[in-house]
Structure 1
Amino acid sequence: AGAYKYFMKKVKKGRLKPFELSTKLAHMSPGQNLTGFKLADIVIEAVFEDVGLKQEILAQAEAKAHENQVFASNTSALPIGRIAAKAKHPERVLGMHFFSPVEKMPLLEIVVTDKTADWAADRAFRIGLKMGKQIIVVKDSPGFYTTRALAFFLAEASLLLEEGSNIEEIDSALTDFGFPVGPITLMDEVGIDVGIHVLDEMNNSFPDRVKLPNGLGAIQQSGRLGRKNGKGFFTYEDGQKVGPDESIYELMGDDKRTYKFVPAEDIQDRCVFIFINETIRCVEEGVLNHAYDGDIGAVFGLGFPPFLGGPLKYVDHLGSKNVLNKLKSLEEKFGARFAPSKLLRDLAEKDGKFFPEEP
C-alpha cells in the first residue's frame, strides 16, 4: 500500500507514466516467509530495534542464503557487531541505515565492522547509488555517526526542557539557527518510544557524557508516542499538530520545576556545540573516514543548516580556537559532557582546519 501511494503520487504529478507504475509494482513480491530469499543478492532487514530479534532474522536468512548474499540491517543505533555476533558469515553482514521517510530523506549510512568484506560493502554502496542516495560509509560503533551525534543534540534539548525552558523557545531557537525542525518536534516525529530507546542506548554506551533528564521515563509511561498516536510533546487534531501539550511540564523533573527563561543564543550554543564536539570525536575515533562524511551526514540526514556547510566546515568558519574556548566555557558551566575532544584541542593548538585546502 505504501509503495502504491508513493508511485501513484508520481503518476499524478506526471513524473511517472501509468504503465511504469504497473511495472514497478510488478517488481515487488510481498510474502510472509523466506521463499525466494535464496536468490537475493542482498537482504535488508528492518525489524524493531531488538538485538535478539535481529539475530533471529539473520539466522533465518543465512539458512536460505547463497554463498555471496549480503545481509544488511537497517538499525539506527544497535552495533552491527552485536547483531552479527552469532552469524555464520559475519563478513557478509553490514548496516544500511536509512532515514525516515526513506522516499524523501536522501542519506544512506552504510556501517561496516572489522569483519565486513570489502565486496559486501561495495554491493551495498552500489545499491544505494541506484536508489539515488547520498552515501557515507562509517565504522561500526554505538549509534554509528548520525544517531550518536543526534542523541547528544536531543539529550541537551531535553535537559533544557527539564531545567525550565518551554517547548516553543527550544524549538524556535534551533529553527532560527537553521535546522528545519526543532529537537522537541523531532522527538514527536521520530516517535518518543524510538527516541528514548536511542537515548538509553547512547547513555549505556557513553555514560560519562550522555546526561538524560529524569522526566523522559514518565513521559513514555504516560502513553505518549508522538505524532503516530496523536499524543506527545504536542497535541494533535486529525493528525495535525496543534500546539505544545502543557501537561508535559508536569512530567518533567519533579514538582519543583518552574519556568526559566534561557536566551535563544544559549540554547543554540548548548545543543549545537555538543553536536559539533561529538562529530569531531567520531572523526578522532575513526568512525568517520573523513570530515566530508561528517558534513554530508549532518546536512543530508540530520538537518544541520546546509548554508553553514556542515558541523566541521562550521568549525573552520568560526575558527578551531574559538570553538575550543566555547566548549571550555560550556564545560565549566555544565560539566564534563562538554569537554573538548582531543582532536579539537590538537587542531586549535596549531590553529588548524578540517578543510585546509578550502578558503
Structure 2
Amino acid sequence: MADIDEIMSERLYLQNGETDEAVDVDAVTELLATPYDKIFKLSGDGKTYVRPVSLFGVPVEKMEEQSAYWDDDWFSLNAYLDREADEERRKHGTRRQLQHENDAEQTAFLIKCLKGHTDNVTKHRKIRNVFGRARPHHPNQLASKALLPETGLCEQEIMYILGCKMTGFQYLADRGKMAMGAWDFVRWRIGRALLAYRAGKCVFVKNNDIKAVIRNIISRDSIDPLFRQAILYAARLDGRGNSYRSTKVLERSMPKPPRPARFPRSPISASSQARVARSRSLLTASHNRPRPTTPTSQNPESGMPRPEEAPQGVRGGRARTGARVQKKQRARSFRHSRRGTNGFRKEKGPS
C-alpha cells in the first residue's frame, strides 16, 4: 500500500500539472489495476490469443518474417530497422556540409534537410527501443490480422506513436502501478476502441480504420478518454507534462538562414537622367493635349444636339446610335400614315 503522503502529493502534482486537462486519478488507478486474466485468454496450447476479440488468432510469441502467420504484403520491420545507420550518416553528412556552406538559399535548404534527418533518427531510436530485434513486441501483433491494413503497421509514424505510448506505460509498470504489461494494456485499449469505432460505421475502410484509431486515441477528442488520461497520468509522473500541453505540434528552434545582402544601386548618369526627364515631359504634353470633339447637329424634334451619322462602314458608338434613332422614327411615321385617326387601318375606297 502506497504511503498516504505520496498519494496526496501525487494528486496535488497532477492538479497543478503543465496541461489544462483534469485527470481523474481514482478512475485511472482503477483502470491500471485491471488484471491480465480478466481481459486475456489463450488457446488450449497457449500459442495464440482467444480473448479479447481484437487479438483472436494472434501468436503469443513474437512472430518472425519467416513464420506462417506472416503476410508477404506487410512492410518489413527488419528492413526499416536496417535504415537507421543510413539515416545517421545522412544526418552527420548534412551537418558537415552546413558548416561549410556560405550561400543563403542553400543554407536554408540544408537546414530543412538536417531537421528531417534529425527527426528520423529520433524516431528510429524510439522504435528500435520498443520494437527492435531484441524486444518481444511486433507492431503487426497489435491486433488480429483481419483488422490490420494490407501493408501492416510497420510504418514510421504509426510505430513512433505506439513507441511513445509504450514508453509512458512502461514507466508505470516498472513502478508497480499497472497490473498487466504495458504492451498488453496498449493492445487491449486500442483493440477495444477499434471495435467501437467500427461498430458505429456502416461502411469502413480496412486500410485506415486502425491507423485512425491509433491517431485518435491519444488526441484531446479521444474515442477512449480514460486511455488519454492514463497517458497524461504517466507523462506527468515522468515529468513530461509539457508534451501534452497542446495538440499543436511546435516547430523546433532551428537557426534561421541569413538574408541575402542587398547591393547598393549604382549612380544614374547625367545622360540617363536627361532621357528620363525628356520622356516625362513628352508624356505630360501628350496627356494635356486637347482632344477633338465630335461634330453635332440640332435634332429638329427635340431641340437637343445629336451626333452626326457615322459614314458608311463605320460602326461607331454615338453615330451608330443616332442612325438607329432615325430609323425607328421613320418606321413610326410610316405606321401612323397607314392608320386612321381612331387607330384602325384606313379602308380603301372603291376603285
- TM-score, scaled relative to structure 1: 0.20
Q: Greater relative contact order: 1 or 2 (C-alpha under 8 angstroms, separation 6 or more)?
A: 2
Structure label with greater radius of gyration:
2
Higher strand share: 1
TM-score by length of 2: 0.21
